[in-house]
Amino acid sequence: MRTNLALLLCGSMLLTAQTPSRPIAGFQPDSARNQAELEQRFDHALNRGNFQQWLKLLSSRPHHVGSPGSRATAEFIAEQFRKWGYDTQIETFYPLFPTPKTRLLEMVAPERYTAKIEEPPVEGDATSGIKNGSLPVYNAYSIDGDVTGELVYVNYGIPDDYRRLREMGVDVRGKIVLARYGASWRGIKPKVAAEHGAIGCLIYSDPRDDGYGQGDVYPKGAFRPPQGAQRGSVMDMTLYPGDPLTPGQGAIDSNRSPDPRQAQTVTRIPVMPISYGDAEPLLRALGGRVAPADWRGGLPITYHLGPGPAKVHLKLEFNWKLAPAHDVVARMRGSEKPDEWILRGNHHDGWNFGAHDPLSGMIAVMEEARGLSELAKTGWRPKRSIVFLAWDGEEPALLGSTEWAEKHAGELQRHAVAYINTDGTGRGFISINGSSELDLFSSQAARDLTDPQTHVSTLDRSLAARRAAGREAEFHVGPLGSGSDYTVFLHHLGIPSLDVSFGGEGRGGVYHSEYDSYDHFVRFIDPDFQYVMATAQLGGRMVLRLANADWLPFYANSMAKAVRGWMNEVMKLTDTMRDQTRKQNEMIRNGDLKLAADPRLTYIVPEQKEEVPYLNFAPLQNAVARLDAAAAALEKVDRSKLGAEKQASLEEALRSAGQKLLRGEGLPRRPWFRHVLHAPGFYTGYGVKTLPGIREAIEERQWKEAGEQIGYTAAAIASYADWIQSAAVNASR
């Protein structure tokens, strides 16, 4: 679903870069040497030839949730897992998934134009002409609507853009807005538009962002052609992901009569994505004020804001039906600790052909599983159980993973050690984001892999890139927002999670379009499957280490450091806002803003804002100090010398510790999201907000709520710290 996120490490085709003398977190020295040898055997068991075969097969027809192609894909993957010796089932859920039956966009003034909203075949792309069974261009979970109104260009359509529109005297009430993709997750754009009174929303891909402004367009180059459009969900997943009608429980009833009016997460206004080929006539017909310089895209026109004279008619109707979502679940039972589960997943559904997103990641995970099965043929068994998961319905709303995890929530919280996710992969640098207690584990996995392009350690290449960018040359796992299947595990159930992939080089502009195809992938993304192999080796290494570790490589000191940094950020945020508020209010009172504006252009002086109070951060500071102390106590425990009983007790405490960071009531206005340390932002979507209850209350200037959230967050952190402290004390006795 999401595009490639932060650069944190770097690529890896990996013959192993490790030496037997290197320590591995969670392993005794002798065990570490055996583990290094096992990982070399795993690397040698992998077969790059499978990637091309599987990718070509699985991307040969549309395979969105509810389609025959999706079921066939799930059955093929399950068949492979069974062949490799895994205990494999397909679990089916029945979430709401709308598909379009009417799509009409036309400009009715000052001239007429009917949008094509079609992606034509391109030369050299074997699947781009396949229409049978494919999904047309649309936004899933847009409400039905038939609206006509003047058009307003709103840049990226995020809250700050509407603030600037107000200052320029542009009102979107009763209008249809046109926003460009970028700066936030697409579902934020209709949400904010509706909050400001718009009656419809169009979203287009500007060529400056992923079209000819970046390079040659497909098929000559990798970037988005004029009629290429980005499908995608606009469900308000900042409230909750998964089936809109069954939040918190698995959608297992196939006989329900779905009513979208009962869904909190369906949009309030109709929404349609369009290409820049269809957007250009609309933008060209706009009048009004010229858009600010930083709002102008790459089309050969003068960008105006409107409203009008362009007037458009948008009509959308959808089939609101339940769709079967087929999750593949494949287990390899552990030999010593079968009730501890290592979870590894990628989704298999796509917006039509989905070669890059998601299949490049899916075939890597499949090859990991096959490689482990080759080890099993030699008599090896993991100490802990390994569960491979191929999700359906990720693209519309993280459907398969959310419904499965909600159904199995109790046993997952009792048994799951960690969830490792991939959602497609590309060429370049590693991205590892997730739970900060897995910092050391992740950095060692990167350290012990070799980049296929530069032939240095992936960690070394990552640190070099950070130094070249003038950043601190340290590795840290970055926090996760949302956008893929880790969401339910981390933010709802408190299970430590990682999201891993490669990217940053070999970019393209066919995300969520019909042109995300096998031909595009092998020409422009990863022609030799070097980084698909890297992903398989990285994921396999992580799974093997968690499954075989003498003790779980969870370290509270890295979490304590991260939390202290986030606390300092929110404290600084209030100081910065206080200073900015005072200065702006003074300029408003003095008339400076009005005098500085161009008298020939409309400028509405903003209202003065309430002064920022001094919040009491003492409870949070005290809780973080307790976390520091608990982490230090745990660090002093020599886990290599613990007896079996104490080791088991400490491991159980560490495995379940993450659940102490959940608050039963959840975050304000969205109780499904329960983790106090991180969540997707209410107005960013995919983008993470750390200490979200506190940070978002401050950003929205809800001072009473901010004080309450400081207390709630501090209590959860203190509970986590006390749990860790108690575990460390018991282990030291």
How much is the pLDDT for 506?
A: 84
Whether domain 97-319 has CATH 3.50.30.30: yes
Span 99-116, mean pLDDT?
A: 99
CA distance 520 to 508: 9
Span 622-643, mean pLDDT?
A: 97
Q: Which residues contact 512 (CB under 8 A, 6 or more apart)?
A: 230, 231, 232, 351, 357, 395
Are 187 and 239 in contact, with CB atoms under 8 Å apart? no
Looking only at the bridges linking them, the beta strands covering 325-332 and 384-391 are antiparallel
Are 107 and 311 in contact, with CB atoms under 8 Å apart? yes
How much is the pLDDT for 709?
A: 99
pLDDT surpasses 80 at 398? yes
Of 671, 676, 659, 684, whose CA–CA distance to 712 is shortest?
A: 676
pLDDT surpasses 60 at 6? no
How much is the pLDDT for 2?
A: 54
Span 481-499, mean pLDDT?
A: 99
CA distance 172 to 164: 12
What's the pLDDT band for 21 if we cut at 50, 70, 90? low
**Alpha helices, H only, 508-555:** 518-520, 530-548
Span 425-433, mean pLDDT?
A: 95
Task: Count Cβ atoms below 10 Å from residue 257 Cβ, excluding itself.
Answer: 6
For the chain, what are the domain ranges? 29-95+324-548, 97-319, 556-732
Q: Write a three-state SS string for 136-198.
A: CCCEECCCCEEEEEEEEECCCCCHHHHHHHHHCCCCCCCCEEEEECCCCCCCHHHHHHHHCCC
Average pLDDT, the chain: 96
pLDDT surpasses 50 at 153? yes
Helix (H, G, I), strand (E, B) or coil at 88: strand
Quote the pTM value: 0.96
Span 78-95, mean pLDDT?
A: 99
Q: What is the pLDDT of residues 437-450, one digit of tens each?
A: 999 999 999 999 99
What's the pLDDT band for 9 if we cut at 50, 70, 90? very low
pLDDT surpasses 90 at 15? no
CATH topology of domain 556-732: Transcription Elongation Factor S-II; Chain A (1.20.930)
The separation between CA 708 and the C-alpha centre of its own chain, rounded to angstroms, equals 28
The separation between CA 570 and the C-alpha centre of its own chain, rounded to angstroms, equals 23
What's the pLDDT band for 473 if we cut at 50, 70, 90? confident
Share of the chain above pLDDT 90, in %: 96
Share of the chain above pLDDT 70, in %: 97
Are 149 and 199 in contact, with CB atoms under 8 Å apart? yes
Which DSSP symbol is given to 641? G
Helix (H, G, I), strand (E, B) or coil at 342: strand
Q: What is the pLDDT of residues 25-46, one digit of tens each?
A: 999 999 999 999 999 999 999 9
What's the pLDDT band for 1 if we cut at 50, 70, 90? low
CATH topology of domain 29-95+324-548: Aminopeptidase (3.40.630)
